[in-house]
Chains A and B, each alone.
Chain A
Amino acid sequence: MNWHEIGSIEDIPARGARCVTTPQGRIGVFRTADNEIYAMEDHCPHRGGPLSQGIVHGASVTCPLHNWVFSLETGMALGADEGSVKTMPVQVVDGRILLGFERPLMAAE
């Protein structure tokens, strides 16, 4: 796992989210009311809505485009909708947030 620091927990409003741009696509980083941090691809499987701009409630987020709801823990769509978003490993160390990438963020040589 390749860990990259992206900022501090205070950079994200509680029950809110921010996004991070990476060479592997945009990642949404979410902070719940009880300060858990989650990360997943910022791309709704329905029509590509930017999930980091949805409403965060409990450990889930509602997509801003057509209201699908996803679990932040598993990335699975909740309720009757079917689909899933790829989640990403996150660590919080001393209030700093680290995102884990399986592949190194390097251009192929």
Chain B
Amino acid sequence: MTEKLVIIGNGMAPGRMLEHLLEAAPDRYGITIFNAEPRVNYDRIMLSPVLSGEKSFEEIVIHGDGWYVANNIMLYKGHKIVAIDREAKTVTSDHGVTEPYDKLMIATGSVPFIIPVPGNDLPGVLTYRDLDDVNAMLLAAQSRQTAVVIGGGLLGLEAAAGLKERGMEVTVLHVMPTLMERQLDPAAGYLLQRAVEARGIKVVTRANTKQIVGNGKVEGVELDDGTIIPATLVVMAVGIRPNVTLAKEAGLTVNRGIVTDDRMRTLDPDIFALGECAEVGGHVYGLVAPLYQMARVAAAALAETGEDLFAHADTPTKLKVTGIDLYSVGDFADGDDREEIVLRDAAAGVYKRVVLKDDRIIGTVLFGETTDGAWFTDLQKKQTDVSQMRDTLIFGQAFQGGASADPLAAVAALADDAEICGCNGVCKSKIVSTITSRGLTTLDDVRAHTKASASCGTCTGLVEKLMQLSLGDSYNPAAVQPMCSCTELGHDEVRRLIKAKGLKTIPAVMQELEWKTSCGCAKCRPALNYYLVADWPDEYADDYQSRFINERVHANIQKDGTYSVVPRMWGGVTSSKELRAIANVVDKFAIPTVKVTGGQRIDMLGIKKEDLPAVWADLGQAGFVSGHAYAKGLRTVKTCVGSDWCRFGTRDSTGLGIRIEKFMWGSWTPAKVKMAVSGCPRNCAEATCKDVGVICVDSGFEIHFAGAAGLDIKGTEVLGLVKTEDEALEAIVALTQMYREQARYLERIYKWAKRIGYDEVRRQVLDDVERRKAYYDRFVYSQQFAQVDPWSQRVSGKDKHEFQPMAALSLQQAAE
């Protein structure tokens, strides 16, 4: 009979342990996991990129739901274990589930430490540990007000950088004189502070928090000296404590962590502890590399395959804040028995320090230039006698043994077992052999197959050098980023060749440009379809199978597979007749949610796919057309009330907005396009954060472009001032057409304009009259093929198959 393994906690350590266990002894255990967090296994160390917006949560999931299903593992999400009964060998969750075990693994991680000051429980005081914390911070960041981060260590600084990135004013309070003093010496701490301040984050050192003030919610942080720093959000990142309550109550030995032997076994032979909650050899850990070693050891013990024992090793610390390179490992305190070697380059902001004892490296701190980190650490691990290279040691590996200062040579010289990726414990030989044996050619492939550089990403440079070494000239990271893995060509090159070679179908593009796959992928097909629609509006037959579902069915898919429908409401203006029609549709189809969107119109959410054509038929009766809320195309033109009503309005902004929207709707663009027209510089339509905006002034129309207010926030650039509405429309249309012809698929106007230069845009659409006219004419030409209401087409039967199941098998029919 299979034995039963129960795991408490589903963090990074048990996640990795299971991978080893399933490999070594796939069928040995029936596995059940209880996780207090209501989610699957994810890469906790990547929460900072999620906070800053560089990654989405989906991208950091390690084991999705399917993995548990495939491996027959029962995962209880949102179940916290509240008791372990060692006598009966059962655990019980807060939802009342009791589960017997043969072997039990405690992996409860850590809990953030909360400083015991008044006000620490006010709403708005957060810690930084899990996705809920990140979501709460993101919510608070929407106010774009002020945040205080208490704690200038790794987590505090990553939180601060993320919140700043999200538009908050951020102050970091740190109790010690320099930042990250546990990992950095004061010199590096200083450089770090400078780098942090250079991003607009305030840093207050020697800051002792007296209390958190606020009435019903956080309003500020008061320091010992009476200073009050205003804040709408306070993040406490002052340290973590191993989460040992459960183990203690069960009578297991607990010091700082749950005490285990070097096979991760507690005093009860059937109970193991693993991860940040475990204490092995007198150490507790807070970085994943040693936890992953624990995972290997524990898996071997459970599978009874190996004799693996846990051995302590120093783990390097790196900070995951883009643009700040630091690396520290080992012991670098000053001491009589120690020597140090230091290198500084003030202009470049580089600082390197290696600490020696008995001619052996015991600690390393690097700031600003960290490529030699792995090499120093390797020397330290192997306890190499460095007296022979003492004079050149600090210059790094490239300077040893007469080799030139070639970074590639330095990587080539690394020992086979040198650790490249600390997070995942991947060494050089493993990466090189995987690249060669599997014929990998891209960084993504290497990440997928070796996990190297797939966690915090700080070793990406090293991994790329290994790829260069293994693949020679065929690997060129500086080359153009290919569109996707189906081709070597970049977007610009593909666009150029489509025109130059007159390619007019997707198969033609794939054949002539030597696509490596038979029919492309979900990345390149929609891009190619757009390029062809934009370049050959009259000749190209749109390929619906290359469009995402939203553009295929002209509605937005929702998370439960239903759809939302947003009709156009020109310039945000509606009428009682339109509202009544919407009300009737909502009642008739029992539409669960009706919402006013951020784009000045009405969204009906939760509509069944089969109902879409009927919904559109009714809306169409009332004169509505599709709002293209799903399209890479013109979305909304927001307006303010303007001179018709407003006492400040200089011109008819509503009228101009409607005119633009009626002129331009239906056109496909590389990414979505949103516009707005405001009647005066008070700018109530928020025209200065749109792709294209107009501010009406007494002297005419100020045209703006390249704003952003989504993932990025960016005020617009001024295109220029024109005198009449006609001129304004012509310039806006020309700008849009230029964008349609030149941008890369999914590239918003602000990214495209920044890439090619704002002046270039002004030159082509304002200064060069002929060009402007030509762009305008090409847009107008293509509109005759594009301006067809997709909803009424489908009401009349187009793509009928999209909306109905192919067949409906029922019980009766089957019983025949």
**Are A and B subunits of one complex?**
yes
Q: Which A positions have Cβ atoms within 8 angstroms of B?
A: 2, 4, 6-7, 11-16, 18-23, 26, 29, 32-34, 45-50, 53-58, 62, 64-69, 77, 79-85, 99, 104-107
**Is A23 a contact partner of B64 (Cβ separation < 8 A)?**
no
Bound Cα distance from A64 to B810, whole angstroms? 27
> Are A54 and B521 CB-contacts (below 8 A) given A18-B806, A83-B67, A107-B811?
no
**For A22, what are the chain B residues with a Cβ–Cβ distance below 8 Å?**
808-809
Q: Please, how many angstroms separate the alpha-carbon atoms of A104 and B815 in the complex? A: 8
Q: Other than A57-B517, A67-B522, give 14 A-B pairs with Cβ distance below 8 A.
A: A11-B801, A15-B546, A20-B809, A22-B809, A29-B806, A45-B70, A50-B561, A53-B549, A53-B552, A53-B557, A55-B548, A79-B448, A83-B64, A105-B813
Return 20 A-B CB contacts under 8 Å, by A number.
A4-B814, A16-B545, A18-B801, A18-B805, A19-B806, A20-B807, A33-B518, A45-B69, A46-B66, A53-B557, A58-B517, A62-B521, A64-B557, A77-B66, A82-B63, A84-B66, A105-B809, A105-B813, A105-B814, A106-B814
- State the Cβ distance, B559 to closest chain A Cβ, in Å: 7
User: Is B525 an interface residue when CB atoms closer than 8 A count as contact?
Assistant: yes
CA distance A82 to B547 in the complex (A): 25
B545 contacts A14, C-beta separation under 8 Å: yes
- Closest Cβ of chain B to A50, distance in Å, is 5
- Complex Cα distance, B814 from A105, in Å, reads 5
In B525-559, the 8 Å CB interface with A consists of: 525-526, 544-549, 552-553, 557, 559
B413 within 8 A of A: no
A16 to B20, CA, bound (A): 39
| Chain B contacts with A in 794-808, Cβ cutoff 8 A | 801, 805-808
Interface check B520, CB cutoff 8 A:
yes
Interface residues of B (CB under 8 A from A): 58, 63-67, 69-70, 447-448, 454, 517-522, 525-526, 544-549, 552-553, 557, 559-561, 801, 805-811, 813-815
Contact of B65 among A23, A46, A56 (CB under 8 A): A46
A83 interface neighbour in B65, B559, B808, Cβ under 8 Å: B65
How many angstroms between the C-alpha atoms of A68 and B69 in the bound complex?
16
Establish whether residues B448 and A82, one from each chain, have CB atoms under 8 Å apart when the complex forms: no
In the bound complex, do residue A83 and residue B66 qualify as a contact, i.e. CB atoms below 8 Å apart? yes
- Shortest Cβ distance from B588 into chain A, in angstroms? 23
**Chain B residues near A6 (CB-CB < 8 A):** 806-807, 809
Q: In the assembled complex, how far is the CB of residue B353 from the closest CB belonging to chain A, in whole angstroms?
A: 38
Give Cα A4–Cα B813 distance, bound, in whole angstroms. Answer: 10
Listed from nearest, the 5 A-B pairs whose CB atoms lie closest are A83-B66, A45-B66, A105-B814, A62-B522, A18-B806
Q: What residues of chain B lie closer than 8 Å to A105, measured between beta carbons?
A: 809-811, 813-815
User: How distant is B74 from chain A, measured CB to nearest CB, in Å?
Assistant: 15
> How many A-B residue contacts, CB cutoff 8 Å?
134
Which B residues lie within 8 Å of A50 (CB)? 557, 561
Task: Output the residue of B525, B546, B553, B805 with the most chain A CB within 10 A.
Answer: B805
With both chains docked as a complex, state the minimum distance between the C-beta of B754 and any C-beta of chain A, in angstroms. Answer: 26
Tell me the bound Cα distance from A56 to B805 in angstroms. Answer: 17
A45 to B526, alpha carbons, bound, how many Å?
24
Do residues A55 and B58 form an inter-chain contact, with CB atoms below 8 A? no
Q: Give the distance in Å from the alpha carbon of A83 to the alpha carbon of B548 in the complex.
A: 22
Contact A69:B522 (CB < 8 A) given known A20-B809, A82-B64, A83-B65: yes
B56 → A minimal CB distance (Å) = 8
Cα distance, A18 to B800, chains bound together (Å): 11
Given contacts A49-B561, A106-B815, contact A23 B66 (CB under 8 A): no
A58→B518 contact, CB < 8 A: yes
Q: Report B-chain residues with C-beta under 8 Å of the C-beta of A68.
A: 64
Would you give the shortest CB distance from B596 to chain A, in whole angstroms?
A: 25
Q: How far is the CB of B414 from chain A (nearest CB, A)?
A: 26
Complex: chain B residue closest to A31, CB-CB: B545
Identify the closest chain B residue to A49 (Cβ). B561
Q: Chain B residue with minimal CB distance to A53?
A: B549
Closest to A105 in B: B814
Contact B548 A64 (CB under 8 A): yes
Among B519, B546, B552, contact of A58 (Cβ-Cβ < 8 Å): B519
Known contacts A13-B801, A14-B545, A53-B557, A21 near B808 by CB under 8 Å: yes
In angstroms, how far is the closest chain B Cβ from the Cβ of A32? 8
A54 to nearest B CB, angstroms? 7
Residues of chain B with a CB closer than 8 A to A82's CB: 63-64, 66-67, 70
B560: chain A residues within 8 A (beta carbon): 48
* A83 → B minimal CB distance (Å): 2
Query: CA separation between A105 and B808, bound complex, in Å?
Result: 12
Contacts of B519 in A (CB 8 A): 15, 32-33, 57-58
Complex interface: chain A residues within 8 A of B552 (CB) = 53
Whole-angstrom CA separation of A79 from B449 in the bound complex: 9
Least CB distance, A78 to chain B, in whole angstroms: 10
Q: State whether A2 touches B814 (Cβ < 8 A).
A: yes
